Amino acid sequence: MTHIDAGAELDPVHPVPIPVALSATGLSTAEVAERVARGEVNDVPVRSSRSTKEIVRANVFTRFNAIIGVLWVIMMFVAPFQDSLFGYVILANTGIGIIQELRAKKTLDSLAVIGEARPTVRRDGTASEISTSEIVLGDVIEFGPGDKVVVDGTCVEADGLEIDESLLTGEADPVVKQPGDAVMSGSFVVAGGGAFTATKVGREAYAAQLAEEASRFTLVHSELRTGISTILKYVTWMMVPTAIGLIISQLVVKNNNFKDSVARTVGGIVPMVPEGLVLLTSVAFAIGVIRLGRKQCLVQELPAIEGLARVDTVCLDKTGTLTEGGMDVTELRALNGSDEGYVHTVLGALGASDPRPNASLQAIIDAYPDATGWRCTESLPFSSARKYSGASFGESDGDTSTWLLGAPDVLLPADDPALAEIEHLNEQGLRVLLLTRATKELDDPEVKEGARPTALVVLEQRLRPDAGDTLRYFADQDVRAKVISGDNAVSVGAVAGKLGLPGAANTVDARTLPDERDAMAEALDEHTVFGRVTPQQKRDMVGALQSRGHTVAMTGDGVNDVLALKDADIGVAMGSGSEATRAVAQIVLLNNSFATLPSVVAEGRRVIGNITRVATLFLVKTVYSVLLAIFVVCWQVEYPFLPRHLTLLSTLTIGVPAFFLALAPNKERAQPHFVRRVMRYAIPGGVIAAVATFVTYLVARHHYSGAGSLDAETSAATLTLFLISMWVLGIIARPYTWWRVCLVAAMGAGFLLVLVVPWLQHFFALKLVGTTMPWVAVGIAAVAAAVLELLWRVVDRRVRV
């Protein structure tokens, strides 16, 4: 609350009323240039994505690329070209990963520029918007409700200024700031406005690094990524001893040709590496970011796509989410015999007293433009915690008066008869504000006590045309929607009812909710719509839902949503919302369309479901490769495959199909326990494939028991392994669509082509000898496929139970 100078004028650049005698006019152009030359600029690199250098490094310098690279170099010296094909596949995979992530970076960076905060800075006596990175030491920066403090500074002007520092200190109560008080970067304005002088910029600013991290496109915690890292860790542990045993077996125990032994050793090690799994995960996420970017959805943290797909409860703020930001005054009802013309004058003066009006006050300003000679002597900005604003005036006839404008059920006693009429209006989904004339001073904590009701201002909120369809989508997907709003409970319920939200009729006034977490969680489980929710209660509600094991998404656009957005599993902010909400949210809807959320959910489900599918393909290969190596060591025989055989098998049964399956539509609901789900299928699949292949190999060795028969034995084993791998692919590709059937058929046709075209037979060293052994190989594969089908159906049944 602040006393206002009698004279005020509109700044030509920034049409906001500011006092004529500014306490800080800002730096001159020359002073700004001087500070830039000295490097006193807010040069913290705020990015929406990793740099190009980081992207290349992350895709090239990996543990498995190092292993494959060393083996590739060895093979280029000791074996034919076709046995080193796996190295070129790795090069192609890495290139694809880099290109896709660079495309995602380009999309994100362009969207981040659109959603970038542009603080208002005074220079040469005028106010203008500049980029955050252009702020210099000593700049005078204006801020109002919802604005984030971007650098450290000292307050030089305060008009009822209240700042929330909870994101830095953990203290939930807003702090009232006066000229001379310090303000810290990372805090945000909840009420009032003012200006401050930048005292620390760039990396010196308090919480500058936190602000940078909050705005960066980061690979933070993700169940998919954590699960894949866990799998790769165990794969590495299995690989090392198995590879050592295989090397000793092939080079020492078996006295073979050295180059052939090296080739078969490498052929045993290479398929143990699930080299394409990390790549496909990155590609799937990157393409998801690009797809959402085309819909004006900025994903500030990569796993947010995955996180929203796992959400089972979405908390919605009414204003700006279910309704559009603007409002219209539909009716003015004078109370207690008040003169309507006089009320118009009061409302016009109240509108002029606030340089940063919210949506409700803006509707009043539009309906009742200020045309009076009233002078504002004191003002109390609106706060979502107290639910009203106010101002004191020197009227044109010399009288003084103090007025309050806000929520009727807050300004009136509970037994006031006017509340019945207001309730009836709220039931129609209308928003009602009460204008009262106070009998006490504006700075009195009990100013609302004894105030005389003067008029009701009836506002109509504009429903978002797509909100109803979006709520129905969430209902169909078993995602519970909870509307939690600071507005009147009955009004909120009426709006939710118009949109067809179940449970809207049984609205709860949050002031009656218990503070104890378990009791609050129980109330949240039983009810859907809540009104008169304070900012702290929104945060408590999110915590209460999470305590019951729910994964919670929170949407909002105002400063009263910031704390809840920060604590929610996924925060979703509107692009037109306050700077503070955009800073803490993981997803920003730049087009302000709530209807974009189903696209984010669908994209997340596509990524999770498809990566689970293709991970099974890759890990079946890893399991059977490790087991085959163990069998070879135990039986003291030559490894059955050369690298070219497994390159062919991996390409046809894993690499090409996985790429298409990873990017296919998938509407399955995201399931938890990624590692457990994948390994339940990969272990039995890999064991059966390894046993069946090795049995075929041993039978073939006995059948072709002659010198120089290794190629025939390898061909028979390759046929069995290919058929089983195709069956695994066929299971993973379900449910079948025309393109999935075509994909599987095309891979089978590719292998058949290799078997019938002479130069391909020679290139891949594959030639089936006779008819008996090939049919035996087919028979063993058929039995293995039947066992695999039975086992996977049993696993499926247990998983669903």
Provide the residue type at 315 as one letter: C
> 326 near 462, Cβ under 8 Å?
yes
Whether residue 490 has pLDDT greater than 50: yes
User: Can you tell me the distance from the alpha carbon of 314 to that of 552, in angstroms, rounded to the nearest whole number?
Assistant: 6
What is the maximum alpha-carbon separation in the chain? 119
> 411 near 402, Cβ under 8 Å?
no
399-431 pLDDT tens trace = 788 889 988 888 888 777 778 778 888 877 788
Whether residue 188 has pLDDT greater than 60: yes
Of 592, 617, 633, the last residue of a domain is 592
Residues 632 and 679 in one domain: yes
Of the ranges 33-47, 84-98, 467-481, 656-670, the best mean pLDDT one: 467-481
User: Can you tell me the distance from the alpha carbon of 137 to that of 152, in angstroms, rounded to the nearest whole number?
Assistant: 10
Asked whether residue 151 is domain-assigned, the answer is no
Across 673-770, the runs of DSSP E, i.e. the strands, are: none
Per-residue buried b or exposed e for 27-63, using 16+ beta carbons within 10 Å of the residue's own CB: beeebbeebeeeebbbebebbbbbeeeebbebbeebe
Of 560, 592, 624, the last residue of a domain is 592
Residues 678 and 644 in one domain: yes
CATH number of the domain to which 364 belongs: 3.40.1110.10
Whether residue 736 has pLDDT greater than 50: yes
Across 676-739, the runs of DSSP E, i.e. the strands, are: none
pLDDT at 729: 93
Residues 353 and 380 in one domain: yes
pLDDT at 69: 82
Residues 476 and 558 in one domain: yes
Out of 51-60, 431-440, 627-636, 677-686, pick the least confident. 51-60
pLDDT at 787: 94
Out of 85-94, 250-259, 320-329, 719-728, pick the least confident. 250-259
- The domain of 303 spans 297-322+464-592
Mean pLDDT of the chain: 81
**Mean local confidence (pLDDT), 15-42:** 69
pLDDT at 2: 43
**Mean local confidence (pLDDT), 334-361:** 83
Out of 248-257, 353-362, 487-496, pick the least confident. 248-257
Residues contacting residue 772 through CB under 8 Å, at least 6 positions apart:
703
Whether residue 671 has pLDDT greater than 80: no
Give the pLDDT band (50/70/90) at residue 500.
Answer: confident
Task: Give the rounded distance of the alpha carbon of 628 from its chain centre.
Answer: 41
Residues 540 and 605 in one domain: no
Q: Cis omega (within 30 of 0) on the bond before 735?
A: yes
Helix 710-732 × helix 772-800 angle, to 10° = 30
Residues 302 and 392 in one domain: no
- Domains of the chain: total: 3
**Mean local confidence (pLDDT), 228-256:** 76
Closest by CA to 612, choosing from 293, 309, 313, 312, is 309
Query: 0.75 exceeded by the pTM?
Result: no
CATH number of the domain to which 722 belongs: 1.20.1110.10
Residues 707 and 747 in one domain: yes
CATH number of the domain to which 475 belongs: 3.40.50.1000
Closest by CA to 781, choosing from 679, 655, 694, is 694
539-562 pLDDT tens trace = 899 999 999 989 898 988 777 787
pLDDT at 171: 59
User: Can you tell me the distance from the alpha carbon of 285 to that of 302, in angstroms, rounded to the nearest whole number?
Assistant: 7
Closest by CA to 224, choosing from 102, 307, 286, is 307
Give the pLDDT band (50/70/90) at residue 111.
Answer: low
Of the ranges 76-80, 171-175, 469-473, the best mean pLDDT one: 469-473
Beta strand pairing call for 431-438 and 400-406: antiparallel
Closest by CA to 252, choosing from 263, 239, 261, is 261
Residues 482 and 619 in one domain: no
Asked whether residue 81 is domain-assigned, the answer is yes
For the purposes of burial, counting CB atoms within 10 Å of the CB of 476, is it exposed (0-12), middle (13-18) or buried (19 or more)? exposed
Asked whether residue 33 is domain-assigned, the answer is no
> 169 near 13, Cβ under 8 Å?
no
Closest by CA to 78, choosing from 260, 249, 246, is 260
Asked whether residue 177 is domain-assigned, the answer is no
Closest by CA to 89, choosing from 724, 726, 767, 646, is 646
Give the pLDDT band (50/70/90) at residue 580.
Answer: confident
In 501-558, where does DSSP find H-type helix?
A: 517-526, 535-547
753-791 pLDDT tens trace = 999 899 998 888 888 888 899 999 999 999 999 999 998
Give the pLDDT band (50/70/90) at residue 272.
Answer: confident
Provide the residue type at 569 as one letter: D
690-715 pLDDT tens trace = 999 999 999 998 888 765 577 888 89
Asked whether residue 560 is domain-assigned, the answer is yes
Provide the residue type at 336 as one letter: N
Residues 501 and 605 in one domain: no
Task: Decide: helix, strand or coil at residue 502.
Answer: coil
Task: Decide: helix, strand or coil at residue 743.
Answer: helix
Give the pLDDT band (50/70/90) at residue 800.
Answer: low
pLDDT at 190: 81
Residues 520 and 475 in one domain: yes
Neighbours of 257 (CB within 10 A): 8
Asked whether residue 652 is domain-assigned, the answer is yes
Whether residue 102 has pLDDT greater than 90: no
Residue among 312, 317, 487, 561 flagged as catalytic = 317
Asked whether residue 241 is domain-assigned, the answer is yes
Residues 663 and 746 in one domain: yes
Distances (CA, A) of 780 to 720, 722, 724, 748, 788: 7, 12, 9, 18, 12
User: Can you tell me the distance from the alpha carbon of 116 to that of 13, in angstroms, rounded to the nearest whole number?
Assistant: 20
Asked whether residue 491 is domain-assigned, the answer is yes
Residues 360 and 381 in one domain: yes
pLDDT at 731: 92
pLDDT at 699: 93
Q: Which residues pair with 461 in a beta bridge?
A: 327
Of 539, 567, 592, the last residue of a domain is 592
599-626 pLDDT tens trace = 888 888 888 888 888 888 888 998 998 8
Q: What DSSP assignment string belongs to 363-385?
A: HHHHHS---S--EEEEEE---TT
796 is catalytic: no
